[in-house]
Structure 1
Amino acid sequence: AGVARDDLFITSKVSAEHLRYDDLLRACDDTLRDLKTDYLDLYLVHWPNADIPMEETFRAMARLCREGKIRHIGVSNFVTKRLGEALAISQEPIVVNQVEYHPYLNQMDLYEFCRQNDVLITAYSPFARGVLFEDRVLTAVANAHGVTVPQVIIRWLLQKDIVAIPRSRSERHLRTNLEVFDFELSDDEMDRIENIGVHQRVVQGARGEWER
């Protein structure tokens, strides 16, 4: 509605069931048709699928790039080992890995691997579905800055160069989530959050292969 396509950044995902070469090409065409657009800015492999060779999947993704149907390739829910395999196989750069990431799931091995390979982490479920809201460390940091715990979490992620994609149920929540640029966490506060010491996933793997 009055917004130019170039002013939008559209991301979509292909499901694990559609990672064979022809299936993936069809899935992308279906998405383009449904969204009434000629291209996607970012197309993600939603989950890895051990039953389908990665070579087949990323060969199809490379073709979509060559044809101009997608601008960038990404993955989602790829642990370090699988991401390394994908990077070695893909003919096009893999620019994003979208994973569950929050202070209770501080995946440092994956984080460092992504930094070393120029892969941007996008954090879904950054609030761990509300589990984090009563955490004492996060509450203390929030009180020190006069902000909310969700704002502290988003700020922590931003200072780690991680993109946060929190769910918002209202315009008020959306505005609050965006008000994170007029305060900064100190090195000590960053370290305290880094070392909360809880390892808790809130999203279960589709195939139970998180650590394979």
Structure 2
Amino acid sequence: MTDQPVITVDGHAIPLLGFGTWNLTPEDARRMVAEALRIGYRHIDTAWIYHNEAAVGDGIRDAIEAGHVAREDIWLTTKIWVAHFEHDALLKQAGESAASLGFTPDLLLLHWPKNEPAFAETLGALNEAKAQGLTRTIGLSNFPSGEFREAQTLSKAKLVTNQVEYHPYLKLSKLKAAAKELGSSITAWSPLAQGQIADDATLVEIGKAHGKSPGQVTLRWLIQQNVIAIPRTARESRAAENFDIFDFQLSSEEMDRIYALARPDGRLGDWIDPRFKWDEEWA
């Protein structure tokens, strides 16, 4: 790994700053993954439902062949889609994802909670995928704290992260507490609130004090919490800007000012099955 902050979960060092590929076309995904790895990112996130796993794998190979990185220095995450949560379907997709990537992923996540089939079947199959060598580690995405705890009780292997929406306009105290209690971690998708942070007066002011943009301040705020952040962009210049966050530190007062931006309408991607409920908190 390059010399950048990591969080160690279950003996695995996961870079706190990653590169996300949600909504990137295959062409953009290949180009941007290769460029991100050239810049210095060592954590790449994709999913079966993004329809770009093969392109992500091509981008990784491009970076390896160019001499920018070795495979063992990359943390690669993909996700099982909810239509594949039955035992056989999950194992089939896990194999297909590894084949599309051309690499065994380091982390395989359940993309959203689903109550049919039962958690026990899905978690059992996810553990089996790990046992079969289809992934190094397993975890969750978009699980509220109660379901997070339930899933871990059903999983023999450690669930190393729960990937959820998190940015300054959300407060995830209960979910972060659950992750700490379980010896796990939180990964933030849409960490820049899909661009909403760009004109935030508080983030602009804090950024000016450090010579940084609101986006850089936000990403720094996340990694100082030991939260993994996976910003996504199709612009090389923005990827380089997002990576340039390791030469400054936010004070406790600045961290608190950003925490105070949480609001009740802060959630941007509420696609959870209505049978599950987010932890109710914001203030």
Displacement of 1:211: 2.3
Moved over 6 A (4+): none
Q: Aligned to 1:205, what secondary structure does the other structure show?
A: coil
Task: Give the distance between the partners of 2:270 and 2:190, measured in 1 at CA.
Answer: 12
Match of 1:166 in 2: 231
Q: Aligned to 1:105, what secondary structure does the other structure show?
A: coil
Count of aligned residue pairs for this structure pair: 211
Q: TM-score, normalised by structure 2?
A: 0.71
Q: TM-score, normalised by structure 1?
A: 0.94
Tell me: higher relative CO, structure 1 or 2? Use CA pairs within 8 A at least 6 residues apart: 2
Pair 198,151 (structure 1): closer, same or farther in 2 beyond 3 Å: same
- The answer (yes or no) to whether the contact 2:142–2:272 under 8 Å persists in 1 is no
Question: Among the aligned pairs, what percent are the same residue?
Answer: 36
Displacement of 1:52: 1.4
Task: Give the distance between the partners of 1:126 and 1:54, measured in 2 at CA.
Answer: 28
Aligned ranges 1:27-66 → 2 under 5 Å: 27-37=93-103, 39-66=104-131
Q: Deviations over 1:163-187 (max 9, x none)?
A: 1101122111111101111111001
Match of 1:23 in 2: 89
Task: Give the distance between the partners of 1:12 and 1:100, measured in 2 at CA.
Answer: 16
Q: Deviations over 1:131-165 (max 9, x none)?
A: 22222211111111121000000000010001110
1:202 aligns with 2:271: no
1:139 aligns with 2:177: no
Deviates more, 1:180-189 or 1:129-138: 129-138
Task: Give the distance between the partners of 1:122 and 1:40, measured in 2 at CA.
Answer: 16
Match of 2:73 in 1: 7
CA RMSD of aligned residues (A): 1.5
1:211 aligns with 2:278: yes
Q: Deviations over 1:86-126 (max 9, x none)?
A: 01110111001100000101211111111221211110101
- Letter of the 1:8 counterpart: I
Q: Aligned to 1:50, what secondary structure does the other structure show?
A: coil
- The answer (yes or no) to whether the contact 2:149–2:182 under 8 Å persists in 1 is no
Aligned ranges 1:75-86 → 2 under 5 Å: 75-86=140-151
Displacement of 1:9: 2.3
Structure 1: unaligned runs, 5 residues or longer: none
Displacement of 1:198: 1.5
Displacement of 1:206: 4.1
Task: Give the distance between the partners of 1:9 and 1:182, measured in 2 at CA.
Answer: 22
